[in-house]
Structure 1
Amino acid sequence: MLNLIEEPIKKTMKKHENLAEMEKQIKIDRISNLPWDVLDTILVRLPLRDAARTSILSSKWRYKWTNLSQFILDDKCIHNFISDKASRWIEIRKIIDQVQSNHSGPIEKFKLAAYCCPNYSDLDQWIRFLIEKGIKELIIQEFSVIKHFKLPDSVFCGPKLSHLELYGCILRLPSSFKGFDCLKILQLSHVLIISDALEHLIRNCPVLEKLTMLNLQNLAYIRIYNPNLKYVKIDSAFEDICLEHSLLLASVDIRMLPKNRGTTLQHPEQGKVCTLIRVFGSLRGINRLSLSNQFLEFLANKDVPERLPTPFKQPLGP
């Protein structure tokens, strides 16, 4: 008789124990216990504002978002009702301060794409911080330019940089600059740089594949010497151009804007040979060529011969 009573009791107790174990498993925060590289992979796919909102989940999550490997600061990070450019930068600065105070580990990518009016000393300090963190992709896109800011020399000591986009800065190469060994993509927009510095920069990026130059200022001529280049786009004012030993170039897009000055620089190469041949005569792998504006007139400043060199006999793409 006792066994008949104990058996149902044992079954009931076992059932409750199983339920308790299930409840315990449900209460475990499995996401918080994921490895950081997995969490980072998840969070960097969210807009930064949404990633920052995870700070309210628990004390464990309070500063997780500040340790991301990628930060994209765009209009989604700023409240819609904030339209003043200086105020928008204040909002961005709040994010930067949080990251600088709490971040540990590397930062691989940073992108600034919010139309604002930055405090240049803040921006300078932030760029230095990113270089110390081993940044690989540094992208500074269009913002409200009041004056050009001096790019800190520390940028040129970033050994891991593979993608660099700069906007609205003064670019002066320090004497200690040895080159960017890992840089594959370079875009300069509204950048103030002299011709010799630009040539030296391009020469010393041995794996550079894509080069874009938009509205560069203070240029006299452009000389591109890089045997690894595959894509070049130029939309800027200049007086002369030379493409040397760029045998892998497959796509060239050049739009020549008028110079503000009335005089034209006579570069040493000018006048020696037909400009069309001088500029493009050494290129053998072109499959896309787009030329517009004053550049067509520039190419025709000397008589074009009846027979073009061998590289030009290859068919051009559409």
Structure 2
Amino acid sequence: MSSMLDNVIAKIMDCLPLKDAVATSILSTGWRFNWTLLTQLILDADIIGSLPRHFNKSDAMYKNVVPLPDISSSEVDCSTMGKLQLQNVSFIFIKGLENEVCLIKYILACSPMLKSIEILLDTSIGSNVNEKYKLANKLLKLHRTSPKAEVDIF
């Protein structure tokens, strides 16, 4: 398995649910970051809800866990994992929470091949024009590695 080409591994990873793709990282040290070869990512409320709200280095239980980037900082450190190969990302039922914005910031900063991020808002924020505007304003200020990356909010 370790002798497979990256593009073959990426195609396999794209067929797996996100949790299973990430779980392949325990197969061997050679597979540790293969989940970063994903070209598509669909994140729903269950996955987003499982992210810690306030995560910092002192909360990390395992070695080499990377803390979520600070929203106010313009820099995101991608060196611990490398650049992601994502091209399309879909967020489903986003509420505009800090951990959601941090994840979007990280994806924008570490995905040089990114073409689009689609964000389907939760009804609690989607029907509130003021909250929708605040979220859009936050997202517009985030650095993008890919010059083609578009963020669409629905």
Distance 1:121 1:159, change over 3 A: closer
Corresponding residue of 1:52: 22
* Counterpart-to-counterpart distance in 2, 1:116 and 1:139: 14
Does residue 1:125 correspond to 2:113, yes or no? no
Does residue 1:165 correspond to 2:127, yes or no? no
Asked if 2 retains the 8 angstrom alpha-carbon contact of 1:70 and 1:107, the reply is yes
Distance 1:125 1:135, change over 3 A: same
Q: CA deviation at 1:125?
A: 2.8
Corresponding residue of 1:36: 6
Superimposed CA distance per residue, residues 259-295 of structure 1 (whole angstroms, 9 cap, x where no aligned partner): xxxxxxxxxxxxxxxxxxxxxxxxxxxxxxxxxxxxx
* Counterpart-to-counterpart distance in 2, 1:109 and 1:121: 17
Higher helix share: 2
* Counterpart-to-counterpart distance in 2, 1:62 and 1:121: 25
* Residue identity matched to 1:90: P
Q: TM-score, normalised by structure 2?
A: 0.59
* Residue identity matched to 1:152: L
Distance 1:32 1:76, change over 3 A: farther
Distance 1:159 1:63, change over 3 A: closer
* Counterpart-to-counterpart distance in 1, 2:96 and 2:51: 6
* Counterpart-to-counterpart distance in 1, 2:87 and 2:5: 18
Kindly report the root-mean-square deviation, in angstroms, between the aligned alpha carbons of the 2 structures. Answer: 3.7
Q: Which blocks of at least 5 consecutive residues in structure 2 are unaligned?
A: 56-64, 69-76
Superimposed CA distance per residue, residues 91-119 of structure 1 (whole angstroms, 9 cap, x where no aligned partner): 7x88995x944133542112211555520
Q: CA deviation at 1:76?
A: 5.4
Q: CA deviation at 1:32?
A: 2.1
Q: Which runs of 4+ in 1 moved over 6 A?
A: 93-96
* Counterpart-to-counterpart distance in 1, 2:14 and 2:140: 27
Superimposed CA distance per residue, residues 144-169 of structure 1 (whole angstroms, 9 cap, x where no aligned partner): 538322132457995424x6421xxx
Q: Which protein has greater RCO, CA pairs closer than 8 Å, 6+ apart?
A: 2
Q: TM-score, normalised by structure 1?
A: 0.32
Asked if 2 retains the 8 angstrom alpha-carbon contact of 1:108 and 1:134, the reply is yes
* Residue identity matched to 2:102: D
Q: CA deviation at 1:64?
A: 1.2
**Computing the radius of gyration over CA atoms, which structure comes out larger, 1 or 2?**
1
Asked if 2 retains the 8 angstrom alpha-carbon contact of 1:115 and 1:142, the reply is yes
Higher strand share: 1
Asked if 2 retains the 8 angstrom alpha-carbon contact of 1:89 and 1:117, the reply is no
Asked if 1 retains the 8 angstrom alpha-carbon contact of 2:13 and 2:35, the reply is yes
Q: Which blocks of at least 5 consecutive residues in structure 1 are unaligned?
A: 1-30, 79-86, 167-188, 190-318
Asked if 1 retains the 8 angstrom alpha-carbon contact of 2:108 and 2:144, the reply is no
Q: CA deviation at 1:39?
A: 0.6
Superimposed CA distance per residue, residues 18-73 of structure 1 (whole angstroms, 9 cap, x where no aligned partner): xxxxxxxxxxxxx2211101110110111100101111211111221133222222
Asked if 2 retains the 8 angstrom alpha-carbon contact of 1:138 and 1:164, the reply is yes
Corresponding residue of 1:152: 140
State how many pairs are aligned.
125
